[in-house]
Chains A and B, each alone.
Chain A
Amino acid sequence: MTTWSCMNLQDSASPIMEQLIFFHDHTMMIITMILAMVLYFMASTIINELVDRYMLEGQTMELMWTIVPAVILLFITTPSLRLLYLMDEIHNPIMTIKTIGHQWYWSYEYSDFVNVEFDSYMTPYEGDNKSMFRLLETDNHVTLPMHSFIRIIVTAADVLHSWTIPSLGIKADATPGRLNQSSFMINRPGLLYGQCSEICGANHSFMPIVIESVSTENFIEWIKKLSE
């Protein structure tokens, strides 16, 4: 259902996403100030009836309207680049998971301790079931330990896909024959949802991603049960 929360970014579940939200708000504030200022200048120019027909240049004014926007841009690029390189960083991951995009489901592989692989298909929505999200639930959740750095390897088996979790600030293209790497740290437990973000065919909208974030002990229990 569309609610007002759709207007904003999802609540963050990782430090990177938290920073991305701060950056978004910071940039939004600058944009709003520029918009207000430009609107004011335009309005005052239109309304003003005093015209100086002999003014050809104003060195000081021109200098200012060149330097001030440059400084404003610096205030946007600096945090932006900082975040960009922070997102690229691999902080000694404790484990690696692999996700492979197929037409039309995701499959996952855990191979650091036990070799486990499973497919994750969308669960069809049942009538008026209020306890599930339509088009977002899967039959198998990707269970992951929170508070630890996880590397994810994203690839595809047939066509382009894109593996996305908005609340973690992760989006990586899945390309056949190529392994893309990304890393994240989940800082709270719960279910995190995402959808395929690269048009991959007829059922592109029906291959969601669900991460189940649990404590490390519970994760070990889960992986043990799965490998039996």
Chain B
Amino acid sequence: MPSLAVMASKKEVPQELSTAPFDPRFPNQNQTRYCWQSYVDYHRCRKLKGEDYAPCDYFRKCYESLCPFAWVEKWDTQREENRFPGKI
């Protein structure tokens, strides 16, 4: 554990803390659909606008913040094997 003086001197500007904002489509405690919709929207956005269209990253940020890693992995495999149930 570094001394307090060291910790104080190491103060740096934290990288921007941001997370998926409140979405009025999902006002309830149940946020399952928010995660799912963001995942589908991200891949649909990339399909329509191209792989390096920056605004699509908004959806990626949302689903990364909300979906458990295991879900994303599962959906990624499903997309690779062309058996993803959503419309992309």
Q: Is A178 located at the chain interface by the 8 A CB criterion?
A: yes
In the complex, how many angstroms separate the beta carbon of A63 from the nearest chain B beta carbon? 42
Mask, A85-122, CB within 8 Å of B = 1, is 00010101111101010000000010111010100000
Residues of A within 8 A of B35 (CB): 179
Query: Given the known A-B contacts A111-B65, A179-B32, are A217 and B21 also in contact in the complex, defined by CB atoms under 8 Å?
Result: no
Give the interface centre of B10, B22, B34, B64 by most chain A CB atoms within 10 Å: B22
Q: Is B48 located at the chain interface by the 8 A CB criterion?
A: no
Q: Once the chains are docked, how many angstroms separate the CA of A51 from the CA of B66?
A: 69
Query: Given the known A-B contacts A179-B35, A221-B7, are A155 and B15 also in contact in the complex, defined by CB atoms under 8 Å?
Result: no
Asked if residues A178 and B32 are in contact (CB atoms below 8 Å), the reply is yes
Residues of A within 8 A of B32 (CB): 177-179
Q: Once the chains are docked, how many angstroms separate the CA of A117 from the CA of B73?
A: 14
- Report which of A93, A179, A180 forms a contact with B19, defined as CB distance below 8 A: A93
Q: Once the chains are docked, how many angstroms separate the CA of A178 from the CA of B68?
A: 10
User: From DSSP, what is the main secondary structure of chain A's interface residues?
Assistant: mixed
Mask, B8-34, CB within 8 Å of A = 1, is 001100110111111000000111101
In the complex, how many angstroms separate the beta carbon of A186 from the nearest chain B beta carbon? 15
Residues of B within 8 A of A93 (CB): 19
Residues of B within 8 A of A179 (CB): 30-32, 34-35, 66-68
Q: Once the chains are docked, how many angstroms separate the CA of A92 from the CA of B34?
A: 16
Residues of A within 8 A of B67 (CB): 179
Q: Is A161 located at the chain interface by the 8 A CB criterion?
A: no
Q: Once the chains are docked, how many angstroms separate the CA of A25 from the CA of B78?
A: 53
Q: Is B54 located at the chain interface by the 8 A CB criterion?
A: no
Q: Once the chains are docked, how many angstroms separate the CA of A157 from the CA of B35?
A: 16
Q: Is A216 located at the chain interface by the 8 A CB criterion?
A: yes
Closest B residue to A148 using CB positions: B17
Residues of A within 8 A of B31 (CB): 153, 179-181
Q: Is A27 located at the chain interface by the 8 A CB criterion?
A: no
Asked if residues A92 and B68 are in contact (CB atoms below 8 Å), the reply is no
Residues of A within 8 A of B65 (CB): 96, 111-112
- Report which of A92, A111, A177 forms a contact with B21, defined as CB distance below 8 A: A92
Asked if residues B69 and A216 are in contact (CB atoms below 8 Å), the reply is no
In the complex, how many angstroms separate the beta carbon of B14 from the nearest chain A beta carbon? 5
Residues of chain A touching chain B, judged by Cβ–Cβ distance below 8 Å, are 88, 90, 92-96, 98, 100, 109, 111-113, 115, 117, 151, 153, 155, 157, 172, 177-182, 216-218, 220-221
Task: Give the 3 A-B residue pairs with the shortest CB-CB distance, closest first.
Answer: A96-B19, A181-B31, A96-B65
